[in-house]
Amino acid sequence: MLTTFKDMLGHARANRYAVPAFNCTEDVMVRAILETAEECRAPVILMGLGMDLKTDGGNGWIYHIGLIQAVVEHHDIPIVLHLDHTDDLELIRAAVDHGFSSVMIDGSSRPFEENVALTAAAVEIARPAGVDVEGELGHVGGMDLADTHCEDNVLTLPDEVTRFVEQTGVDALAVSIGTAHGIYQSKPTLNIQRLAELNAASPVPLVLHGGSGTPDDQVQEAVRHGICKMNVFADGRMAMYRGLKEAATAFDRPDPLPRDMFAPVKRELQKVVAEKIKLLFADGQVV
């Protein structure tokens, strides 16, 4: 069932685990992620991206979000429907109108005061509708999702955190501690000491972006030091592609059944979803 972002991350912070947040952009992903999370008794966040929702004249809002909203009630675990990265307040408004649980407003590439103003404007739109907001302070690089380098990262400063949260009213904060989006060209090294300082300064739960490809031991250290939500996209895409390649050569008939064609894609994605849930200590958190 749908729950609030704030409640979900509050439980994670109190119980020292992180909720996996999967970018979920195709129908087959909705089912694979929700069924696996339910099996693992884990809360889960499904994230939509503006670039997917706006395609085909906005059909992503109708079909993809309509599908998710129709099926969440069948799953007996807390689920959050979250809009990932946008700096577009119109998209925030659209997500609020379409019944999202929470949204991310990303002003992290702007100077502090501009980031505060944009984020506070998003909170003003979302809060009256009961929609929670994630902001970002510091900058997690690698937005093209394909060729990721960590050089454009800007680490979050602890002395800005309290001020940012107070001035914007955000419910969660994405911080930059050394991860990047997409597929790494070289392994990242997370700044756990910095994370501990950020967590001590932050009144709200912290979020780690760029979870794909980050070494497991570093991810777990990050969870132990305050990360309550981790975003995953690239690892899911790579898993689905493995399944797709297997499916493409698996049949000796020209008309395989749809469920057989998609089975390897779903299976590979399910494996990654289960791995991430366990990695973040989220399994068994729903009783």
Minimum gap (Å) between residue 52 Cβ and Zn ion:
14
Task: Please identify, using beta-carbon distances, which residue of 69 and 109 lies nearer to Zn ion.
Answer: 109
Minimum gap (Å) between residue 230 Cβ and Zn ion:
10
Task: Please identify, using beta-carbon distances, which residue of 106 and 268 lies nearer to Zn ion.
Answer: 106
Looking at beta carbons, which residue is closest to Zn ion? 209
Minimum gap (Å) between residue 85 Cβ and Zn ion:
5
CA neighbor of 193 nearest in space, from 225, 159, 161: 225
Tally: H helices and E strands in the chain: 12, 8
Minimum gap (Å) between residue 261 Cβ and Zn ion:
31
For 40-106, where are the alpha helices, taking DSSP H only? 50-53, 55-59, 65-71, 89-97
Would you tell me which residues interact with Zn ion (CB under 5 A)?
209
The sign of the CA dihedral 206, 122, 141, 216 is positive
What's the maximum distance between 2 C-alpha atoms anywhere in the chain? 63
Minimum gap (Å) between residue 87 Cβ and Zn ion:
12
Contact 232, 145 (CB under 8 A): no
Task: Please identify, using beta-carbon distances, which residue of 194 and 209 lies nearer to Zn ion.
Answer: 209
CA neighbor of 272 nearest in space, from 244, 231, 232, 220: 232
| The one catalytic residue among 84, 87, 106, 132 | 84
Task: Please identify, using beta-carbon distances, which residue of 31 and 139 lies nearer to Zn ion.
Answer: 139
Ramachandran region of residue 142, left (φ > 0), alpha (ψ -120 to 50) or beta? left
Task: Please identify, using beta-carbon distances, which residue of 87 and 266 lies nearer to Zn ion.
Answer: 87
What's the angle, vertex CA 93, arms to CA 87 and CA 99, rounded to 5?
Answer: 120
User: What is the rounded distance in angstroms from the CA atom of residue 106 to the CA atom of residue 109?
Assistant: 8
Ramachandran region of residue 79, left (φ > 0), alpha (ψ -120 to 50) or beta? beta
Catalytic annotation present for 159 = no
Active centre residues (catalytic): 84
